[in-house]
Amino acid sequence: MAAPLVPLPHTSRGHASPPIVLLHGFGGDQLAWMGLAGPLSKLRRTIAFDLPGHGAAVNWPEVASVSVSANAVIESLDRMAVERATIVGHSMGGAVASLVGLKRPDLVERLVLLAPGGFGPEMNVRLLTRYAAMTEADEIAVVMEQFFAPTSTIPPVLTQLVVEQRADPAIQASFKAIVSVISDGAGQGTLPLDDLAAAPFPTSLVWGLEDAVLPVRQAIEAPAAIARHLVPDCGHMVHMEASELVMGILTKALTGRAPA
């Protein structure tokens, strides 16, 4: 088996340290952060990775489980001489960020997790399986709607990017393989949340109240030491549905003050 190439494919913006590392969810890539990476880079350097099996890292030599992805992020940060970072992760990327913190707490300044995987056994496996397999524009439009709240507007560019992405047979094969390893029967595996809450860095959750992929009760039932922001009128894509609010949460976490 060929050795994976690290650091992972990424885009870096800005200069101030410690950086902000952005980890997308299952089926996405670093472009998922295009609405936040620019504004965040005015505060700190931002590093948006393509996780294994996604984007420019689609041909990763192992099926990209959460553990495989966390190890790749750790090795990438080490290769890039990043000693400490705030890690922001969405969905599967939130589970990856959590595992990075558990494996290498010295690397983590804080975690900000947007509807992360691994916080409870429930997961909409049927929807994610359909999401992994979709290739036609009409079906993509219907499936993508279920990731947003009914009152949210789906960015037209997002649907077009997904249509273009799914034209790649390698992406199709990778996503089908990944969904089979991140799902556990009708749900998902769980993280050791008490260990995460006891870690030497703060962890915050941001979760849409109308999330149809991972239920918001997983945030409500998380250990009390983990801060949480429950966002009305948002589904699973809270960083797109409420980007200004998420930017405000991140700004306050990083600077101690709300954005101007």
* pLDDT single digits (tens) 111-145: 999 999 999 999 999 999 999 999 999 999 999 99
Distance between CA atoms of residues 204 and 2, nearest Å: 37
Q: What is the largest CA-CA distance in the chain?
A: 50
Helix axes 66-79, 92-103, angle to 10 degrees: 60
- Could you give the percent of the chain with pLDDT greater than 70? 97
Q: Which CATH superfamily is domain 10-255 in?
A: Alpha/Beta hydrolase fold, catalytic domain (3.40.50.1820)
Paired with 31 in beta bridges are none
155 has a pLDDT exceeding 90: no
pLDDT classification of 3: cutoffs 50, 70, 90:
low
pLDDT classification of 20: cutoffs 50, 70, 90:
very high
Q: Show me where the domains of the chain are located.
A: 10-255
Reading the block at residue 13, the tokens are 């913006």
Mean pLDDT of the chain: 95
Under 8 Å between Cβ of 174 and 64: yes
The stretch 137-158 carries a mean pLDDT of: 94
Q: Which DSSP string corresponds to 162-209?
A: HHHHTT-HHHHHHHHHHHHHHEETTEE----HHHHHTSSS-EEEEEET
Reading the block at residue 205, the tokens are 């959750």
Under 8 Å between Cβ of 25 and 90: yes
pLDDT classification of 186: cutoffs 50, 70, 90:
confident
Half-sphere exposure of 17 (CA within 13 A, CB side): 7
Which one is predicted more confidently, 6 or 132? Answer: 132
Q: Which DSSP string corresponds to 101-128?
A: HHH-GGGEEEEEEES-TTSSSB--HHHH
* Contacting residues for 157 by C-beta, under 8 A, at least 6 apart: none
- Cα separation of the two ends of the chain: 50
The stretch 30-55 carries a mean pLDDT of: 96
Environment class of residue 232 by beta-carbon count within 10 Å: exposed (0-12), middle (13-18) or buried (19+)?
A: exposed
